[in-house]
Amino acid sequence: MQFILTTGLLPALLILMCVVFAMVEPRFVDGSNLLNVARQSVFLLLIAMGQMIVLINAQLDLSVGATVALTSVVVASVTAASSGGPESVLLGLGAGLLLGVVIGLLNGCIVAFWKVPSFMATLGSTSVLTGLALIISKGAPIIGLPMIFSDVLATSSVLGIPVPVLLGVVIAVGIGVFMSRTVPGRNMYAVGGNRAAALVAGIDVKKTVILAFVLCSVLASLAGILLTARVGSGEASLGASFVMLSIAAAVLGGTSLFGGEGVLWRVVLGVLFLGVLSNGMNLLHVSSYIQELVIGIVLIAAVAAERLKRVA
Amino acid sequence: MTANPLVAIRNVSKKFPGVTALSDVSFEIRRGEIHALMGENGAGKSTLIKILCGVHKATTGSVALDGAETVFDRPQDAEKGGIRTVFQELNIVPQLSVAENISLGSLPLKSGLVDRKKMLERAADALSGLGADLPLEARAGDLPRSSQQLIEIARALMGEARLLILDEPTASLGENESRQLLNIVTGLARRGVAILYVTHRMHEVEAIADRVSVLRDGKFIETLGAPMDEAVIVERMIGRPASSLYQHSRRDPGRELLAVSGLGSATLRDVSMSVRAGEVVGVAGLLGCGKSDLARACFGLHPIQDGGIELDGEQIAKPSPAGMLERGVVYYPSDRRTEGLVLGRPLFESMTMGSHRPAQITRKGFLRTQKESELAHSIAAELDLRPMQLDRASGKFSGGNQQKAVLARGRLRLAKVHLFDEPTVGIDVGAKADVYRLIDNYADAGHGVVVISSDLTEIIGISDRVYVMREGRIAAHLAGSDITEENIARSFFTAAPA
């Protein structure tokens, strides 16, 4: 009980869920399955962390899914046209991340300078980015990626830990430190918590908001790169589901939709919660239709329980 | 007159987990009297109000209405008993009209639809009963705060009101609006409505209250009748004899630090002002005269069209808050909740926000959280900020302590000009003294200090020179023995002799 009071419901729910799955389906606790959960959760983790940063600034980024899609198409085109040597990995990474920076700058500037509400700004850019992805790919998967791209970014391991998982962990630690221990990170909580007060205190509000959108888009692009490496082709249809799931994971982890509130490790738990839930249901052969339904109900119940507890 | 008082509060105590907010409070409110309730922040005034209007339940003790013991389980019960409350935070829906706001929650219906005609009639009646004149169909959000307050009072008086509780109704009103509100309050009392009037402003109590009850640290101290003696009331409130709030040694101002010349904007007309090192410059004026915009313009929060701002000899072409802070100019906003603090975050974050680099609490781009915490605590101790739990959310601190947290930013950097916008609005006597002490210290240390204030006593008490503003212009410039209430008040209304 004390544990729940101090840490919130989420950790307890996550543990409970793991215990139930482990009892019903022993394969769940198998080492390779747990690694699988981690491998599958990395993409959402990256995007949800970005979404958390934007939410803390009292903004919203609906374009993360389209960013994944466009990144996938661009990275696949660039690497497919490359020599296929080790440098093509760097080329793909560089092109994808640069694209993320550009998308983030555009989203951020539209919101900060033109004062377009981020909901509308990123809804609009979603459409633009999706359109670009379809134009570039002509609606078909882009194939012919060099083998080394997937080898390095999807299947290789360091000390038994898959490279994407390792990347996810390192970046999560980095974002955690950035948000809690640096001035720009702390400024984001101030800007999201009370924009007018942040301005009077001398914080560059516009720069802070733009930085948040850039970080979010870069993280989404990285997820797009890793996803492309995993599926081995560039697809304009990748990533759409990440928009809602990233918001869900962030809010499940206690991030406020109104800004100023959000802690990284909780968002990580939110991602794991969704990852374990879908993995467990897969092991139990629950149909994907029913999975959709269950995830929706569990989400609402978990957030409502957390709120009610806080009021009480 | 019946023998029973309208409301008798008998031995009321209220305990919250870990704190006793009220212990054994007893006093009576008579029909048609204006009963002031005073005490420092945290003395228990709010808790007592919340018990009277049914938001909280007393832990022990009772409240008798008309001699009959009553328990209010819900605010609606208190309302049925004729007890109405207007809180400091107004419950106005800015998008709705004045009339709709007055009827909020009790819209008159005709066959299931809103009866607009009746609604307008009702609103007109309610407002004329107050002697107030507001445009009934105007959007409430477009009206000044003083009008919004009247809307709340009109709504509170719908139906049969016997006790009207007003929680610091003049805290955000100017001198003129305050006077108008006090007139309305005395008018209501004459009609037989009892008023429980919570305020920090001593001259209002002297002007309108029949009696005043004082709370201190959750305990009832005394109910005092007329004639009111300010010194006695203050002594009861703070528990020791009050030394004069406004004491400062004579100062010799040095070089000019801030020079504003011919400033023009949407609300300012050809305003010139000079602030020298080591002096306190007061800016007085009625609400809407532009005095706050003058300070905001100097800080880059209010766009200017003409004129120039010169800081310590440097012409500032385009002032911005970040740029002015970097140059040592600090603006302390009047509305701490909307412009000073991040209410949902820990208080220390609001203290240090924007000041991490000048206060040198970063190392190689990372925050030195240990040093940040030490620095916040030492400044909090210096300003006597209470309670010293700086991890608590800003929104949970009282007005005076919130103000002290905002004032911290002047201590975290090398400042030379301080712009205080209504520095003591809504804060108690004790905190006021601390703020004045800080202002004096800054001036003594050779900083330039500007104090924008609607409180005349304050302006006269702490300023070395005073500018009076009217309709966006400087109407008078007073110094030395010319700084009198009469001179300032005259300039509120008439132009200065050329």
How many angstroms separate the CA of residue A170 from the nearest CA in chain B? 18
Supply the pLDDT for residue B498: 39
pLDDT tens figures, B94-103: 999 999 999 9
Contact B122, B108 (CB under 8 A): yes
Query: Between helices A64-80 and A31-56, what is the axis angle to 10°?
Result: 120
Q: Name residues whose C-beta falls within 8 Å of residue A281's C-beta, 6 or more positions apart in sequence.
A: A290, A291, A294
Flag the least confident range among A106-120, A205-219, A282-296: A282-296
3-state secondary structure (DSSP) of residue A157: strand
Tokens of A118: 């981020």
Please state, in angstroms and rounded to a whole number, the distance separating the CA atoms of residues B228 and B176.
Answer: 23
Contact A163, A157 (CB under 8 A): yes
Q: What residue ranges of chain B are covered by domains with CATH 3.40.50.300? A: 7-238, 271-493
More confident residue, B107 or A225: A225
Supply the pLDDT for residue A4: 65
Q: Closest CB to B367: pick one of A186, A190, A193.
A: A186
A202 and B321: CB-CB below 8 Å? Answer: yes
Flag the least confident range among B141-145, B247-251, B458-462: B247-251
Please state, in angstroms and rounded to a whole number, the distance separating the CA atoms of residues A229 and B65.
Answer: 76
Q: How many CB atoms lie within 10 A of CB A31?
A: 8
| B19 pLDDT more than 90 | no
Q: Closest CB to B344: pick one of A182, A183, A261.
A: A261
Q: Which residues of B touch A201 (CB under 8 A)?
A: 321, 325, 353-355, 409
Contact A162, A35 (CB under 8 A): yes
- B271-493 in CATH: which number? 3.40.50.300
A160 touches chain B (CB under 8 A): no
Q: Name residues whose C-beta falls within 8 Å of residue B358's C-beta, 6 or more positions apart in sequence.
A: B325, B326, B412, B413, B414
Query: Between helices A205-231 and A87-113, what is the axis angle to 10°?
Result: 150
| B248 pLDDT more than 80 | no
Per-position DSSP letters for B105-163, written without gaps between them: T---EETTEE-HHHHHHHHHHHHHHTT----TTSBGGGS-HHHHHHHHHHHHTSS--SE
Supply the pLDDT for residue A311: 54
- B7-238 in CATH: which number? 3.40.50.300
pLDDT tens figures, B390-407: 999 999 888 889 999 999
Q: Of A56, A183, A199, A200, which to mutate for an interface test with B (greatest number of B Cβ within 10 Å)?
A: A200
pLDDT tens figures, A160-184: 899 999 999 999 999 999 999 999 9
Tokens of A234: 């560039």
Tell me what ipTM this predicted complex has: 0.88
Supply the pLDDT for residue A127: 97
DSSP-assigned letter for residue B358: T
**Model pTM score:** 0.82
Total residues belonging to chain A: 312
Contact A57, A78 (CB under 8 A): no
Q: What is the mean pLDDT of residues A234-245?
A: 93
B342 and A198: CB-CB below 8 Å? Answer: yes
Print the SS3 string covering B47-95. Answer: HHHHHHCCCCCCCEEEEEECCEEECCCCHHHHHHCCEEEECCCCCCCCC
Q: Which residues of B touch A200 (CB under 8 A)?
A: 299, 301, 321, 331, 333, 339-340
Q: Which residues of A touch B410 (CB under 8 A)?
A: none
How many angstroms separate the CA of residue A217 from the nearest CA in chain B? 23
Supply the pLDDT for residue B243: 59
pLDDT tens figures, B205-229: 888 999 999 998 889 999 998 788 8
| B495 pLDDT more than 70 | no
Residues 82 to 111 of A: which have CB under 8 A from any B CB?
A: none
Please state, in angstroms and rounded to a whole number, the distance separating the CA atoms of residues B221 and B25.
Answer: 9
Please state, in angstroms and rounded to a whole number, the distance separating the CA atoms of residues A214 and A207.
Answer: 10
Specify the number of domains making up chain A.
1
Flag the least confident range among A270-284, B263-277, B387-401: B387-401
A103: CATH: 1.10.3470
Residue where the block lists tokens 């809103």: B114
Per-position DSSP letters for B399-412, written without gaps between them: HHHHHHHHHHHHHS
B356 and A202: CB-CB below 8 Å? Answer: no
Please state, in angstroms and rounded to a whole number, the distance separating the CA atoms of residues B269 and B439.
Answer: 28
Q: What is the mean pLDDT of residues B109-126?
A: 90
Query: Between helices B145-156 and B116-129, what is the axis angle to 10°?
Result: 100
A193 and B362: CB-CB below 8 Å? Answer: no
- Given pLDDT bands bounded at 50, 70 and 90, which one contains residue A3? low
| B197 pLDDT more than 70 | yes
Supply the pLDDT for residue B283: 96
Supply the pLDDT for residue B494: 64
Please state, in angstroms and rounded to a whole number, the distance separating the CA atoms of residues B170 and B179.
Answer: 9
- Which of B153, B180, B407, B429 shows the shortest CA–CA distance to B287? B180
A187 touches chain B (CB under 8 A): yes
Q: Name residues whose C-beta falls within 8 Å of residue A295's C-beta, 6 or more positions apart in sequence.
A: A274, A277, A278
| A277 pLDDT more than 60 | yes
Supply the pLDDT for residue B430: 82
> Rounded to the nearest 5 degrees, what angle is found at the Cα of A44, between the Cα atoms of A38 and A45?
65
**CB under 8 A, 24+ apart: contacts of B391-394:** B391/B346, B391/B347, B391/B348, B392/B346, B392/B347, B393/B343, B393/B344, B393/B345, B393/B346, B393/B347, B394/B341, B394/B342, B394/B343, B394/B344, B394/B345, B394/B346, B394/B347, B394/B349, B394/B350
Preceding peptide of A184 cis, ω within 30°: no
| B168 pLDDT more than 90 | no
Q: Of A173, A194, A204, which to mutate for an interface test with B (greatest number of B Cβ within 10 Å)?
A: A194
Q: Nearest residue of B to residue A184 by CA position?
A: B365
Please state, in angstroms and rounded to a whole number, the distance separating the CA atoms of residues A20 and A18.
Answer: 5
Distances (CA, A) of B359 to A190, B147, B179, B301, B414: 17, 42, 43, 23, 9
Contact B488, B478 (CB under 8 A): yes
Contact A236, A72 (CB under 8 A): yes
- Given pLDDT bands bounded at 50, 70 and 90, which one contains residue A6? low
Q: Name residues whose C-beta falls within 8 Å of residue B464's C-beta, 6 or more positions apart in sequence.
A: B251, B253, B279, B280, B281, B443, B479
pLDDT tens figures, A47-88: 999 999 999 999 999 999 999 999 999 999 999 998 888 899
B354 and A201: CB-CB below 8 Å? Answer: yes
B365 and A182: CB-CB below 8 Å? Answer: yes
Q: How many CA atoms lie within 13 A of A83 on its CB side?
A: 6
Domain of A146 in residue numbering reads as 2-311
Q: Dihedral angle at the C-alpha atoms of A68, A73, A74, A80, nearest 10 degrees?
A: 130
Supply the pLDDT for residue B496: 47
| B417 pLDDT more than 50 | yes
pLDDT tens figures, B129-150: 888 888 999 999 998 888 898 8
Mean pLDDT of chain A: 93
Q: Closest CB to A182: pick one of B322, B344, B366.
A: B366
> Rounded to the nearest 5 degrees, what angle is found at the Cα of B375, between the Cα atoms of B372 and B380?
125
B349 and A189: CB-CB below 8 Å? Answer: yes
